[in-house]
Each structure stands twice: as structure tokens, then as C-alpha cells.
């Protein structure tokens, strides 16, 4: 890959998106442009994945001074931690353009801007740069929900915007604190994440800054109890925007914790790990149970997605290599399964003009291909072995057990809760009797089938041959865990922190 | 000696404020503002005399010029307002009510 | 012959490929013009039959090896490796999995053939065989997996197929609910399995997470951890093999087509729990407390479901409870460290229970999906082949000598006695009597006496050959399989037990033949008593009784389903609606609502100040300036 590959992946979609928004184009043209751009990014992503060597360091690095007086750089790079998140952002996008074509050019433009901003946030290794992309990410979402969403879109838009902006401001404040602390300790300015990890923070302000960072990421992820924007936003957003939000953007929250919080705030992180993991599992159980009684299919999926995010986040807090690798893997796995499920719900809505579970039934007989694809994605979402959902969940539960058996038992209930709401939904939508509405249901067209097929195959391939992915992310994960472990062990040896034994971190 | 001038100036200024706050006719309000400006002028001149410096005179001249310019502008605005609503009552112009 | 090991991977792969091919064919054609049933049938049978022959090759190869080298592993690829955890997609054939392999592929193939007849005319013919092949592939992965994680792949796979096949006739809500119940209850067990695996990994897994390494490292386990692992894994076994308290799904699972009940819910899948305990015999034998708990749970399940079985009226439900009951026996066997006896009972049970289910299927088929035994009667003249084979099956199930069930069950009971579990033995003998009673109640009600439903009786006819041939083959197995493990008392040399010895950690207690004969007599007497009572009550024809008192409780299964529903399911749903109707909008969302409320409130409060009159703003300015001047003059002084 050439030197500026990452910059191209960031700015090609952003510029194309801006062009779509500004120039008077027809919707079809806009869609074609979007499709071409996303396919270019797809191939760049694949090539990047293949070329990624899987050592623990940064690859495809690019570093140019940006605001020199404050040591802020335009610094990009990919390592094992960001690789799969980047892949989720780069690879799944063409689906959106392929499947749905009822939207106007503004919508396509915003979709592209969102992609560029997300790739930027994932690749940024400078905290300020990350913050900039993080904020840009929100704008297209604001427009996509606010302009093109469902009946309640205004309330939902307001909620997600206020929520995330509040989080972002907290993050900005904490970021300034981190920068100033570095300046005080080392006498120069930098926001480079590798250098910042040398910081030795302590005391009340550090805890405060840590909490502010965590709130920002917890809102985006979302972690219980900051999830309340999610059901509204996911339900009201148009399908493609829900896809972007659930499949990729939510993961950047978790990714942000791993990338920016853990290396800087080791001690605080270790101290609060128990509380945070509790928030993760409680959120998982809470949202899972809430999903059971939903009547709207999309809302059910929204709660299901929130539930899974709880367990994905849990993997970060367990502080061992199995759980962290599980989380990184599950980020990609969940992006494929949940993303596809949301798109399927969108298709269903497009055809049936309804998402009410009560209105549906017996679709499996009318649309066997659709039902099979849906079932595979659903099984991946409940973590059946052979699909990619199992590997991540298993590793996270395994790691959680090392961290705390109590948390592991709670986390394990995801196995049960997941099937409860999913099977019951599947029963009422796909099984039982066909009614006069669903009798007309059209199975996937050849075009739709061909666009979903790669993702379905990816779900299976990631489940059967996960090692191809894990071997690229595992070195970075174990390095991070080892570093975190060494730091927190050295500095809070006397406080009672539930960290794992030494012998488990040979790397 | 200087106190008398300053007391007069304060009395004039307070009368101006009172006029601005209590009167509803635009012209009265406008004249009250002029009164306040002139109260300031008086104070400047008095201080100028006290300190035997010309700075106060300069500022007084300046204020007079500004007041003249302001009068020109303000009268134009008043005419426009009158054309719009047909009244010179300030209570009519309350578009900024929250 | 080194390359024989490389075939092992093909054994589960063939049915899986079959499943994919059939599944794709069915998926693309089922809404239009479908392929012929013959094509589907042929394709469906290729995989299992080939797997069976491969299994034979591997099995005989294994037999030719010296006893202490009887294990073949085939590492296909590294599945995933994270830190110390390394999981290979590897298969292990040793005497235990070899034996399992043989009978799973054999019975699987027979049931595939039988299903061609049974499912004929069903519009989802292709789908059925896709699932059936998928099941067989998963089951073979379960059996062949070289470590617990690979076993778990098959474990979940068979659970999925079980779900799909139970809810096969999915237009009926009842069936889908039964499927959901099976999947969810199994998942509760799987939680135990996953946690058990995790504990085991952190305790001794870093030295390799496959059975052979784990076996070598068992001595490193502390008793607390060891017992915890055993019990957690046993929760998994309880889910899959329908033991107390997770047995409730199996009777409902009879909603699936009858061949499915025979293959999955009697012969193979439900015995996976027993297989797992036997696989981990090195741990259960080491931590005898865990073994004893397993044995007691097993024997109590046997007792409870035998009670249920005595009062049921649905032919498949009777057989389902008898399956639960027999599974209880098997767990009692593996629990008292009689692993080979338990596995041998799995083996014989596979024959006679598959036979009984297929026989029942043949009856149901003949009576046009009538399943109530009180609507049957006198069918032995109409369906002689089905009657004869089912009679053999019933005798084997009741444990009547010299049929196969007698030897395997007796071995378990004897071992319980020999290892000092007298209580388990006593309950076991009691259950044997009850088993004989309800089995022959079924036989007498269905085949003897006079027809209770004349119309159905008139239309009844013997099943086609494609269905009766498997019955006859299975009947031969049910009658004769006992010979394979003939105890020394009858001049045999325990072929199966000896064969299994390298895989299992067990020791054979020595007891005098006198005790053995007495124990055997006791169970034979119990069986005879059971059959006699059944004959007295039902042999000459009987009418459906009104259940009262205990019988009513038994008929309603002690209302356990209702209790579970009231204690678990309804509260769970209730919490769900509380969360989504009350907590979510009113409590967790209150942060945001509170924040917006504050801003709105503040806004409306300050709004009053903005009156819009210029002079009032001037007043504010004056007040402000005055205050500032005051403040400044204060601070200057």
C-alpha cells in the first residue's frame, strides 16, 4: 500500500460526500458515486488487511505536524487494535448503497462523510485529531436522522445530539487536562497517544479526567445507564443510518476506551474495572430483557444491539488478553451480524410497510432465502459456534472468569437471554401462519442476494477460520494487556484491585 | 467649587436616566439621552478646569460631534418607526419580548 | 496405515456437505418447482452411509493397534489461539469415540432411510434432510472433538438442529414453542458448560486444552476447583440429556417428526451428556463427590420420569419419559464410576429406543397421525411386523433377559451396588419395575385387546418396506446387542467394557458371583412384577380411566411445567415489560429528561425579564451599572 493510503481512505469519502451535498446531482447519480467510492474503500481495506503484518506496532503510519505550537500532529496509523474496527468501517459500506435506493443525494453524501470521519477516528493516533473526527462523525448522523428519519425523528435527533455533544465536551476538557499534565511533567506539548502513555497521572483530577473520558465513550458505546438515546435513535433513523450507527459507530466508543483511556489512565482504569464491568453486564442483561417485550422489530434489534455492546465492553474491562482479543474480534463479528440484521429489518419494512412483529408471520415459507440469511445472522448474533459470534463471546466469558467469576456468570447469561428474544421474534416473524399481508412477501431478488451473500459468507468464514483474524490482532492485544498490567501492578500494589495473576501474561 | 458643577452634572444625568426609564414618547426619551450626554460634558469641562488640562475639552467636543451624528441617525430611525406603526409610543415597539 | 487418521476429518464433513447441498437445492426451489423426493433421499443418504463406512475403516484400524496406542488424532487446523489458550480443530478417535462413532453413523443411516418413507409427500422434504444431515455432522463433531471446545461446537450444533427439527412443522405455534423451549433450556445447560470449560482452562488449560493433556494434568486440580468444574459441566449435561431440573424440554420435543424423536431425542443427541461425563471420566473418577451427585440426580430423574411415564396417554410422550428415565440410569451408571456400563447402556438404548420410536412412528403413520394410546388397540393383526419388532424393543427396554437392555441396565445396577451405593440400587430396581409396567401398558394398549377407534383401525395398514426394514435391523440389534458385553457370570468376557478401558478411568470392584446373581434376580423379579401388573390391568383391553389423587398428579407431571412457567417464564416476561414500559421511559431516561427539564425551566424563568420595552432594559442597565460602581467603590476603599 502506498504511503498516503489512510489519508485517501479518510478524505476520499469526505470530499465525495461534500461534493454530493453541494452539487446539484440526481439521486441515482449520487448513489452511483457513493457506490463507486465505497467499493474503492472496500478494496483498499481488503488490501490493507492482507498487507497488515500483525506485529504489535503501528503500520501504514503517517505523521505530519499540524499545530506545531501545541504539538498536535496529523498522525495516522493502524495496529492490531484498530485493524478490525477499520475493516468493519471499510468493508460493510457498499451494502448500504447496493440495497436501498429510495434516498436523495443529500443522504448519500452524509453517508460518505460519516464513513470518512469514522475511518479518521479509527486511524488517528493523535488525541486531538481523534477528537476532531469524533465530532465530525456526529454531523452526518444528525442530518441523516433529522432529515430522513421516521415519525419521531426530531426528538430522537435532539436526544442523540445533546447526549453525544455533552459527552464530547467532557472529553475535550479531559483531553486538555491530559495535554497540560504532559506539558507539566515533560516540558513539551504532545497529544500523541504513544507518548502520552508515559504520563504518570494520579490524584483527584486524574480520576475526574478519567471519568469524563469514560462518560464520553460510555455514551457512544453505549454503556448502561447512558444507553437511553440508543433505542430512539436506532428506531427513528433510516435503515442505512441505523446500520452505520450500530455496526460501526458504536464500536468506536469501545475502541476509544481501548486506544485512549487504557494507556493513559492505567491506575484509574484498574481501580474502576470492577464497576465498569458491572455496568457492562448489567447493561447487557437489562437491555436483553427489555428486548424481549418489544413489539417493534427494529426497536427489538436496537435493544439487542445495546445488550451486545455491554458484553463487548466487558471484554475491555477484564484486563486479560483473552477477553481483549475477544472484544476486538467481537467488534467485527457484531458489526457483520447486527449490521446485516438491521438491513434485513429495513428490507422487511420496505416490503411490508410495517415493523410490528404482530403484523408479520410465516415469512419463512414465502421467502426461504431471506429466512435462511436472516437465521444465519441471527445465530451469529446469539453466538452459535460456527458463526463469528461464538469466538468473541467465548473469549470474553473465558477472560471474564479470570477477572471475576461473578461477572463471568452474569456475562454468561447472554447465552440464554439472547436466544430468548431472538427465537421468540423469529417465531413470530418467520414461523407460524402466513397472513394475507405476508403472503405477498417477495423473497430476496438476485441483486439483493448477491450483495448480502458476501457478508453471510464472511460471518461463517470468521466463525470457522477465526485464526486468520486473531493472529493479526492478538500481538497488539497482549502487548497492551502486558503494559497495562505492569503499570497498574507497579503503582497500586497495595490497593485491593481485582487484577489477574502474573503468570497469565507472559507476553 | 468643583462640587457644585459635579452635583449639577449628576442631577442632570439622573434626570436624563429618569426620563429614559419613565417616559414613553420616543422624542422625550431621545431628549433625555441628550441631557445625559450634556451632563457628562459638563463634568468633563469641570474636571478640565480643575486639572488645567485641555483633554476634557477635547472629549466634550468629541461628544458633541457624536451626539450630533447620533441625532441625525436616531431621528431617521424614529421617522421610520413612525411610518411603520404610526405611533411614537415606545411600548408599541416590543418585538424582543421573550 | 498412518493415513487412516486423515479420513477422520471426512466423517463429520460428509454429512455437513450433504446438508449444504440439500439445503441450497431446497432453498432455491421450494417456492417453485421442487426436485424429486428420490433425488433428495439419495443425496441425503450418501453422506451418512459413507461416513458409516469410513467409521468402520477407522474403527477396525483402531482395533488393530496395540491397546495402549489406541488413539488417532487428526489436527485439521488451528481454530484459534489467544495467549495460552490454543484450540485446534482436531479430531480424536479412541475406543470411546470409536464406539460412539459406529453406532451414531449406523443408526443415523438407518433413520435417514426410514425417513424417506415417513416424510414422503411432505412439502419440506428437502429441508428435513438438510437438517437431518446437519444434525449428523454436528453430532459427529461432538463425538470426535479432541477437546471440550470442539465438543462444544457439536454440542451447540446438535442443539440448533434439535430446535429446527422440533419446530419443523412451524405453522403450528405449539411446535415452535416446543422448539424454543428446547433451545433455551439447552442454552441454560450450555452456560454451565462454557463456565466449566473456562474454569478448567484457567486451572490447567495452559498445558493444552484437549482431553489427553487435560487428563495428564488432572492431578494439578485442587478439589474445590475440580468439583466445581465437574458440576458446571454436569449442568451442561443436564440440559442436553434432560436431567432434573432441566428435563422439561424433552417431552415437548416430541412435536418434531417421529424419525427425529428416534434419532435425536432418543438414540444420539440426548446421550451426549453421558458421553461428556464419560469423556471427562478422568475428572469424575478423581472427584468422587461430583460423581455421587451425578448418580443421584440421574437416579432421581429416572424415578420421576418413570412416574410420569406410567400415566401418559400420548404414545410418543410415554416413550419420551422412558427416554428421560433411561438417561437417568445412564447418569447413575457414570456417576457411580461405572463408565463403561453407562456407555454400554447408551449403546443398547440407542437400538431399542430408536426401534420403539420408529415403531411408534409406523403406528402413527398407519393411523393418520393419531398419537393417543386410548384411541388404539388390537393393531397386532394389522401390523404384525411392527408389532413383533416393537415387542422386542419393549422387552429390551423393560430389561427382560436375554434382551440387550437387561445386560446393560443390570450392569449399572450391579456396579452401583458393588461401589456401595445401595440407595441408588434400590431405587434403580424400583424404576426397573415401573419401566416394565409402563412399557407393557403401551404394548397392550396399542396392539392387544379390541380396537377403541374402529374407523382408524379399519384404515390402518402395515408400513412400506423402506420403513419396516430399518425396524427389523434395529430389532435384531435390540435383541442381540447385549451379547457384546456378556458378563463373566454367563461365560462372556465383557467385550465392550474391555474395549472401552483405555479411554476411561475406572476400576472394576470385585464381588462374589453370589451377590451378582442375587442382584440380577431382584431386577428380573421386579421386571416380571411390572409386566404382570400391566397385563392384569391392560392385557384384556381397558377403558381410559379418570385420574384421581396421585395418578392425576402424575398425569399432569406434578405441574412442574406450570411451576416453571409461573416462577421463571412469566416473571422474566414481566420484568421485560416493566423495563420497557416503566424503567426505560421513567427511570434510566430521567437523566436526559432532567437535564432538558432544567434548561427549559431556567429558560421560562428568565423569559419574564425580557419584557420587550426599551426603557426596562435601560433600567436593568442602570441597576447593573450602579451595583458595579458600588462594588468598585467598596473595593477601592
Q: Does C614 touch chain B (CB under 8 A)?
A: yes
Q: Does B95 touch chain C (CB under 8 A)?
A: yes
Alpha-carbon separation of residue C476 from B89, C352, C381, C403, C467 (angstroms): 114, 9, 21, 10, 15
Helix or strand or coil: residue B89?
A: strand
End-to-end, the C-alpha distance of chain C in Å comes to 108
Residue pair A131/A171 in contact (Cβ under 8 Å)? The answer is yes
In terms of CA atoms, which chain C residue is nearest residue A296? C580
Alpha-carbon separation of residue C547 from C445, C454, C493, C563 (angstroms): 17, 25, 47, 20
C-chain CB neighbours of A218 within 8 Å are none
What are the cell numbers at C46? 450418501
Helix or strand or coil: residue A126?
A: strand
Cβ contact B97–C622 (<8 Å): no
Q: DSSP states of C247-293 as a string?
A: TTHHHHGGGS-HHHHHIIIIISGGGHHHHHHHHTHHHHTT-HHHHHH
The answer to whether the Cα torsion of C544, C545, C551, C557 is positive or negative is positive
Number of structural domains found in chain A: 1
Place of cell 411603520: B84
| Closest CA–CA distance from residue A228 to any residue of chain C (Å) | 6
Supply the pLDDT for residue C133: 93
For residues C457 and C379, what is the distance between their CA atoms, to the nearest angstrom? Answer: 7
For residues A111 and A288, what is the distance between their CA atoms, to the nearest angstrom? Answer: 29
Distance of CA B25 to the CA centre of its chain: 15
C-chain CB neighbours of B90 within 8 Å are 613-615
H helices, E strands: number in chain A: 23, 2
Computed over every residue of chain A, the mean pLDDT equals 87
B-chain CB neighbours of C618 within 8 Å are 17, 20-21
For residues A278 and A314, what is the distance between their CA atoms, to the nearest angstrom? Answer: 8
pLDDT class for B6, splitting at 50, 70, 90?
A: very high
Q: Give percent of chain A above pLDDT 70.
A: 95
Q: Which of C332, C352, C334 is CA-nearest to residue C343? A: C334
pLDDT above 80: residue C1 = no
Average pLDDT over residues A146-163: 87
C-chain CB neighbours of B29 within 8 Å are 614-615
| Closest CA–CA distance from residue A124 to any residue of chain C (Å) | 26
Q: Which of C141, C378, C393 is CA-nearest to residue C267? A: C393
B65: left (phi over 0), alpha (psi -120 to 50) or beta: alpha
Residue pair A246/A339 in contact (Cβ under 8 Å)? The answer is yes
Cβ contact C26–A465 (<8 Å): no
Cβ contact B90–C612 (<8 Å): no
For residues C212 and C98, what is the distance between their CA atoms, to the nearest angstrom? Answer: 16
The domain in which residue A123 lies consists of 5-504
E strands within A9-105? 59-67, 72-78
DSSP H helices in C448-548: 454-459, 465-480, 495-500, 513-538
Residues recorded for chain A: 507
pLDDT class for A503, splitting at 50, 70, 90?
A: very low
Q: Does B20 touch chain C (CB under 8 A)?
A: yes
Supply the pLDDT for residue B11: 95
- Reported as a single tens digit per residue, the pLDDT across C452-465 is 878 878 888 888 88
Q: Which of C192, C158, C331 is CA-nearest to residue C260? A: C158
In DSSP terms, A385 is beta-bridged to A387
In terms of CA atoms, which chain A residue is nearest residue C159? A384
Q: Does B88 touch chain C (CB under 8 A)?
A: no
| Closest CA–CA distance from residue C238 to any residue of chain A (Å) | 15
Residue pair C258/C111 in contact (Cβ under 8 Å)? The answer is no
What are the cell numbers at C218? 488432572
Residue pair B26/B81 in contact (Cβ under 8 Å)? The answer is yes
| Cβ neighbours for C413, distance < 8 A, ≥ 6 positions apart | C425, C428, C429, C432, C519, C523
Interchain contact C/B (3 or more Cβ pairs less than 8 Å): yes
**What would you report as the CA-atom Rg of chain C, rounded to the nearest whole angstrom?**
31
C-chain CB neighbours of B21 within 8 Å are 615-616, 618-619, 622
C222 phi/psi in degrees, rounded to 5: -80, 155
For residues A402 and A404, what is the distance between their CA atoms, to the nearest angstrom? Answer: 6
pLDDT class for A465, splitting at 50, 70, 90?
A: very high
Helix or strand or coil: residue C413?
A: helix
Residue pair C409/C523 in contact (Cβ under 8 Å)? The answer is yes
A-chain CB neighbours of C85 within 8 Å are 322, 395, 398
Q: Which of A348, A347, A342, A346 is CA-nearest to residue A438? A: A348
Supply the pLDDT for residue A376: 94
| Closest CA–CA distance from residue C579 to any residue of chain A (Å) | 6
Alpha-carbon separation of residue C134 from A36, A422, A465, C130 (angstroms): 39, 21, 19, 6
Supply the pLDDT for residue A497: 43
C90: left (phi over 0), alpha (psi -120 to 50) or beta: beta
Tell me how many degrees the CA angle B31-B35-B37 measures, rounded to the nearest 5: 115
For residues A250 and A389, what is the distance between their CA atoms, to the nearest angstrom? Answer: 17
Lowest-pLDDT choice from A23-37, A278-292, A458-472, C530-544: C530-544
pLDDT above 60: residue A502 = no
| Closest CA–CA distance from residue C558 to any residue of chain A (Å) | 25
DSSP H helices in A265-387: 266-292, 297-317, 321-352, 363-366, 368-381
Mutation to test the A interface, candidates C125, C151, C580, most A Cβ within 10 Å: C580
Average pLDDT over residues C620-630: 92
pLDDT above 50: residue A498 = no
For residues A5 and A52, what is the distance between their CA atoms, to the nearest angstrom? Answer: 13
Those chains having 3 or more beta-carbon pairs within 8 angstroms of chain A are C
Helix or strand or coil: residue C381?
A: coil
pLDDT above 50: residue A496 = no
Shortest CB distance from C82 goes to which of A225, A226, A325?
A: A325
Alpha-carbon separation of residue A188 from A70, A180, A199 (angstroms): 8, 9, 12
Q: DSSP states of C53-88 as a string?
A: HHHHHHHHHHHHS-GGG--EEEEEEEEEEETTEEEE
Locate the domains of chain C by residue range.
Answer: 339-541, 590-637
pLDDT class for C189, splitting at 50, 70, 90?
A: very high
Shortest CB distance from C573 goes to which of A225, A292, A402?
A: A292
Tell me how many degrees the CA angle A22-A26-A31 measures, rounded to the nearest 5: 90
Domains, in order of start, for chain B: 2-89 (1.10.287.3510)
Q: Does B1 touch chain C (CB under 8 A)?
A: no
pLDDT above 90: residue C302 = yes
Cβ contact C177–A427 (<8 Å): yes
- Reported as a single tens digit per residue, the pLDDT across A273-309 is 999 999 999 999 999 998 988 889 999 999 999 999 9
For residues C133 and C626, what is the distance between their CA atoms, to the nearest angstrom? Answer: 91
- Reported as a single tens digit per residue, the pLDDT across A305-318 is 999 999 999 999 98
- Reported as a single tens digit per residue, the pLDDT across C363-392 is 888 888 888 888 887 888 888 888 999 999
Cβ contact C194–A412 (<8 Å): yes
Average pLDDT over residues C568-596: 81
Q: Which helix (H) or strand (E) holds C89?
A: strand C85-93
Tell me how many degrees the CA angle A74-A75-A78 measures, rounded to the nearest 5: 145
Shortest CB distance from B98 goes to which of C607, C614, C618?
A: C607
Those chains having 3 or more beta-carbon pairs within 8 angstroms of chain B are C
Q: Does B22 touch chain C (CB under 8 A)?
A: yes
C90 phi/psi in degrees, rounded to 5: -125, 150
Helix or strand or coil: residue C613?
A: coil
How crowded is residue C73: how many other Cβ atoms within 10 Å of its Cβ? 17
Supply the pLDDT for residue A101: 65
Residue pair A160/A233 in contact (Cβ under 8 Å)? The answer is yes
Amino acid at each position: 500500500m502506498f504511503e498516503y493510503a489512510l489519508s485517501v481512505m479518510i478524505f476520499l469519502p469526505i470530499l465525495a460526500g461534500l461534493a454530493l451535498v453541494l452539487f446539484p446531482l440526481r439521486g441515482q447519480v449520487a448513489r452511483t458515486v457513493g457506490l463507486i467510492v465505497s467499493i474503492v474503500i472496500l478494496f483498499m481495506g481488503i488490501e490493507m488487511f492482507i498487507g497488515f503484518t500483525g506485529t504489535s506496532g503501528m503500520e501504514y503510519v503517517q505523521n505530519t505536524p499540524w499545530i506545531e505550537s501545541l504539538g498536535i500532529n496529523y498522525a495516522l496509523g493502524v495496529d492490531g487494535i484498530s485493524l478490525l474496527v477499520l475493516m468493519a468501517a471499510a468493508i460493510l459500506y457498499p451494502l448500504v448503497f447496493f440495497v436501498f435506493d429510495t434516498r436523495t443525494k443529500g443522504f448519500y453524501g452524509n453517508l460518505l462523510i460519516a464513513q470518512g470521519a469514522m475511518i479518521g477516528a479509527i486511524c488517528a493516533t493523535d488525541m486531538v485529531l481523534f477528537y476532531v473526527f469524533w465530532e465530525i462523525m456526529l454531523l452526518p448522523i444528525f442530518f441523516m436522522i433529522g432529515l430522513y428519519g421516521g415519525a419521531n425523528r426530531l426528538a430522537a435527533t435532539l436526544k442523540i445530539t445533546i447526549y453525544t455533544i455533552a459527552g464530547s465536551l467532557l472529553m475535550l476538557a479531559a483531553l486538555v487536562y491530559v495535554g497540560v499534565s504532559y506539558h507539566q511533567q515533560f516540558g513539551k506539548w504532545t497529544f500523541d497517544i504513544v507518548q502520552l502513555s508515559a504520563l504518570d497521572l494520579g490524584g483527584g483530577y486524574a480520576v475526574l479526567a478519567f471519568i469524563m473520558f469514560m462518560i464520553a465513550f460510555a455514551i457512544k458505546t453505549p454503556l448502561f445507564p447512558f444507553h437511553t438515546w440508543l433505542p430512539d435513535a436506532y428506531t427513528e433513523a433510516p435503515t442505512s443510518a441505523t446500520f452505520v450507527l450500530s455496526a460501526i459507530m458504536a464500536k468506536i466508543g469501545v475502541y476509544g476506551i481501548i486506544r485512549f483511556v487504557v494507556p493513559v489512565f492505567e491506575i484509574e482504569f484498574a481501580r474502576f474495572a470492577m464497576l465498569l464491568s458491572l455496568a457492562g453486564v448489567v447493561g447487557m442483561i437489562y437491555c436483553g430483557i427489555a428486548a424481549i417485550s418489544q413489539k417493534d422489530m427494529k426497536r427489538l434489534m436496537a435493544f439487542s444491539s445495546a445488550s451486545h455492546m455491554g458484553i463487548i465492553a466487558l471484554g475491555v474491562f477484564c484486563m486479560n488478553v483473552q477477553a481483549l482479543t475477544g472484544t476486538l474480534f467481537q467488534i467485527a463479528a457484531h458489526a457483520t451480524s447486527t449490521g446485516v440484521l438491521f438491513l434485513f429489518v429495513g428490507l422487511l419494512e420496505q416490503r411490508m410497510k410495517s415493523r410490528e412483529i404482530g403484523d408479520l408471520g410465516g415469512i419463512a415459507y414465502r421467502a426461504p432465502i431471506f429466512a435462511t440469511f436472516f437465521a444465519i445472522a441471527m445465530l451469529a448474533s446469539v453466538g452459535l459456534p460456527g458463526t463469528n459470534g461464538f469466538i468473541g463471546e467465548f473469549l470474553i466469558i473465558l477472560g471474564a472468569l479470570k477477572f471475576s467469576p461473578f461477572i463471568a456468570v452474569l456475562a454468561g447469561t447472554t447465552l440464554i437471554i439472547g436466544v430468548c428474544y431472538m427465537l421468540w421474534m423469529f417465531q413470530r416473524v418467520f414461523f407460524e401462519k402466513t397472513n394475507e399481508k405476508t403472503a405477498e412477501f417477495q423473497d430476496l431478488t438476485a441483486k439483493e442476494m448477491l450483495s448480502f451473500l458476501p457478508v453471510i459468507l464472511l460471518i461463517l468464514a470468521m466463525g470457522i477460520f477465526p485464526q486468520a483474524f486473531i493472529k493479526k490482532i492478538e500481538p497488539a492485544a497482549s502487548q497492551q494487556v502486558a503494559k497495562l498490567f505492569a503499570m497498574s501492578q507497579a503503582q497500586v500494589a497495595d490497593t485491593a484491585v481485582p487484577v489477574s495473576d502474573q503468570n497469565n501474561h507472559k507476553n | 467649587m468643583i462640587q457644585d458643577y459635579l452635583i449639577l452634572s449628576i442631577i442632570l444625568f439622573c434626570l436624563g436616566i429618569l426620563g429614559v426609564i419613565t417616559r414613553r414618547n420616543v422624542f422625550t426619551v431621545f431628549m433625555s439621552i441628550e441631557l445625559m450626554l450634556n451632563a457628562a460634558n459638563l463634568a468633563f469641562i469641570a474636571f478640565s478646569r480643575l486639572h488645567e488640562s485641555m483633554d476634557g475639552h477635547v472629549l466634550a467636543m468629541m461628544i458633541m460631534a457624536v451626539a450630533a451624528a447620533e441625532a441625525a441617525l436616531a431621528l431617521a430611525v424614529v421617522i421610520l418607526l413612525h411610518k411603520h406603526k404610526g405611533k411614537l409610543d415606545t411600548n408599541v415597539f416590543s418585538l424582543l419580548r421573550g | 496405515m498412518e493415513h487412516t487418521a486423515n479420513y477422520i476429518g471426512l466423517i463429520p464433513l460428509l454429512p455437513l456437505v450433504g446438508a449444504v447441498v440439500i439445503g441450497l437445492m431446497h432453498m432455491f426451489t421450494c417456492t417453485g418447482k421442487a426436485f424429486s423426493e428420490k433425488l433428495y433421499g439419495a443425496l441425503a443418504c450418501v453422506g451418512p452411509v459413507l461416513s458409516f463406512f469410513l467409521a468402520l475403516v477407522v474403527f477396525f484400524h483402531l482395533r488393530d493397534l496395540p491397546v495402549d496406542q489406541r488413539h488417532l488424532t487428526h489436527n485439521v487446523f488451528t481454530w484459534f489461539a489467544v495467549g495460552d489458550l490454543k484450540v485446534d480443530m482436531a479430531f480424536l478417535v479412541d475406543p470411546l469415540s470409536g464406539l460412539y462413532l459406529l453406532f451414531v453413523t449406523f443408526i443415523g443411516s438407518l433413520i435417514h432411510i426410514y425417513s424417506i418413507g415417513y416424510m414422503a409427500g411432505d412439502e419440506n422434504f428437502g429441508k428435513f434432510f438438510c437438517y437431518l444431515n446437519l444434525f449428523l455432522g454436528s453430532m459427529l463433531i461432538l463425538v470426535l472433538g479432541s477437546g471440550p471446545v470442539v465438543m462444544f461446537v457439536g454440542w451447540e450444533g446438535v442443539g440448533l438442529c434439535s430446535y429446527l427439527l422440533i419446530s419443523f412443522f412451524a405453522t403450528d405455534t405449539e411446535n415452535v414453542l416446543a422448539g424454543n423451549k428446547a433451545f433455551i433450556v439447552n442454552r441454560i445447560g450450555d452456560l454451565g458448560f462454557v463456565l466449566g470449560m473456562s474454569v478448567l482452562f484457567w486451572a490447567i488449560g495452559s498445558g493444552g486444552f484437549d482431553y489427553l493433556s487435560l487428563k495428564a494434568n488432572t492431578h494439578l486440580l485442587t478439589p474445590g476447583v475440580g468439583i466445581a468444574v465437574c458440576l458446571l459441566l454436569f449442568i451442561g449435561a443436564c440440559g442436553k440429556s434432560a436431567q432434573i431440573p432441566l428435563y422439561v424440554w424433552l417431552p415437548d420435543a416430541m412435536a418434531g417428526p417421529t424419525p427425529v424423536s428416534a434419532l435425536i431425542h432418543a438414540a444420539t443427541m440426548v446421550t451426549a451428556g453421558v458421553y461428556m461425563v464419560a469423556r471427562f471420566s478422568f475428572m469424575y473418577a478423581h472427584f468422587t463427590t461430583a460423581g455421587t451427585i451425578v448418580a443421584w440426580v440421574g437416579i432421581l430423574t429416572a424415578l420421576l420420569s418413570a412416574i410420569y411415564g406410567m400415566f401418559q396417554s400420548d404414545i410418543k410422550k410415554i416413550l419420551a419419559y422412558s427416554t428421560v428415565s433411561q438417561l437417568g440410569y445412564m447418569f447413575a451408571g457414570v456417576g457411580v464410576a461405572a463408565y463403561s456400563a453407562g456407555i454400554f447402556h447408551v449403546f443398547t438404548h440407542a437400538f431399542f429406543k430408536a426401534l420403539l420410536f420408529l415403531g411408534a412412528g409406523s403406528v402413527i403413520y398407519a393411523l393418520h397421525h393419531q398419537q393417543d394410546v386410548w384411541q388404539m388397540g388390537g393393531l397386532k393383526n394389522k401390523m404384525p411386523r411392527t408389532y413383533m419388532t416393537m415387542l422386542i424393543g419393549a422387552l429390551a427396554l423393560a430389561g427382560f433377559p436375554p434382551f440387550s437392555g437387561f445386560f446393560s441396565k443390570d450392569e449399572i445396577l450391579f456396579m452401583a451396588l458393588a461401589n456401595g451405593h445401595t440407595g441408588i440400587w434400590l431405587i434403580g430396581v424400583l424404576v426397573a419395575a415401573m419401566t416394565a409396567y409402563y412399557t407393557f401398558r403401551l404394548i397392550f394398549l396399542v396392539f392387544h385387546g379390541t380396537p377403541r377407534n374402529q374407523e382408524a383401525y379399519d384404515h390402518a395398514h402395515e408400513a412400506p418396506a423402506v420403513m419396516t426394514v430399518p425396524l427389523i435391523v434395529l430389532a435384531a440389534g435390540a435383541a442381540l446387542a447385549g451379547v457384546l458385553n456378556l458378563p463373566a457370570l454367563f461365560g462372556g468376557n465383557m467385550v465392550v467394557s474391555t474395549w472401552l478401558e483405555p479411554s476411561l478411568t475406572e476400576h472394576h470392584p470385585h464381588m462374589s458371583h453370589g451377590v451378582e446373581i442375587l442382584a440380577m434376580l431382584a431386577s428380573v423379579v421386579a421386571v416380571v412384577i411390572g409386566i404382570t401388573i400391566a397385563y392384569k390391568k391392560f392385557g384384556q383391553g381397558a377403558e381410559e380411566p379418570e385420574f384421581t389423587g396421585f395418578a392425576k398428579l402424575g398425569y399432569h407431571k406434578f405441574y412442574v411445567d406450570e411451576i416453571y412457567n409461573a416462577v421463571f417464564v412469566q416473571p422474566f416476561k414481566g420484568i421485560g415489560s416493566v423495563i420497557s414500559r416503566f424503567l426505560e421511559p421513567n427511570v434510566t431516561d430521567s437523566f436526559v429528561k432532567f437535564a432538558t427539564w432544567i434548561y427549559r425551566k431556567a429558560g421560562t424563568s428568565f423569559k419574564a425579564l425580557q419584557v420587550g420595552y426599551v426603557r426596562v432594559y435601560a433600567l436593568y442597565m442602570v441597576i447593573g451599572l450602579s451595583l458595579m460602581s458600588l462594588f468598585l467603590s467598596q473595593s477601592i476603599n
